[in-house]
Amino acid sequence: MKIHVMSVFVDDQSKAKEFYTKILGFIVKHDIPLGKNRWLTVVSSEEPTGTELLLEPSEHHAVQPYKKALVEDGIPAASFKVDNLDSEYQRLRDLGVTFTAQPMDAGPVRMAIFDDTCGNLIQLVQIKNE
């Protein structure tokens, strides 16, 4: 069994597409119109056949309280692995990304957390011994 698609709820799919592709460097896998929304997935440019991230509309009544609680508690909605946290942190800061947690050691990993501009906190993780 493998993970095929995971969701992150976004406030605006067009804004999310722009951020996740132009800023984070993901590539669009699917962008299929479905009424007023889209089946919009992105994948890592490093693994184009890997797990898809669904940029899912935040319209369900339970989503906004859930997202608000996560952000208030500083809990990331997703975690992305990077090879070099410091260089990725600097690259994203140079592009105007707002970080809520600077790079720090956290046991076997180094991590940082940023705001994806679509209502979520996202964690970057570098495995120390890889």
**87-113 b/e (C-beta count within 10 Å ≥ 16 → b):** ebbeebeeeebeeeeebeeeeebbbbb
Query: Nearest Cα to 47, choosing from 15, 109, 2?
Result: 2
pLDDT digits (tens, 9 = 90+) for 10-66: 999 999 999 999 999 999 999 999 999 999 999 999 999 999 999 999 999 999 999
Structurally, how many domains does the chain consist of?
Answer: 1
Task: Give the mean pLDDT of the chain.
Answer: 97
Question: How far is 58 from 127, CA to CA, in rounded Å?
Answer: 31
Range of the domain at 61: 5-127
Beta bridge partners of 53: 6, 42
The DSSP symbol for 1 reads: -
Question: Tell me, what CATH number does 100's domain have?
Answer: 3.10.180.10
Within the chain, what is the greatest distance between any pair of CA atoms?
A: 46
pLDDT at 129 over 90: no
pLDDT number for residue 6: 97
pLDDT number for residue 83: 96
Percent of the chain with pLDDT over 90: 98
pLDDT at 98 over 80: yes
pLDDT at 3 over 80: yes
Q: Is the pTM of this model over 0.85?
A: yes
Q: Radius of gyration over alpha carbons of the chain, in Å?
A: 15
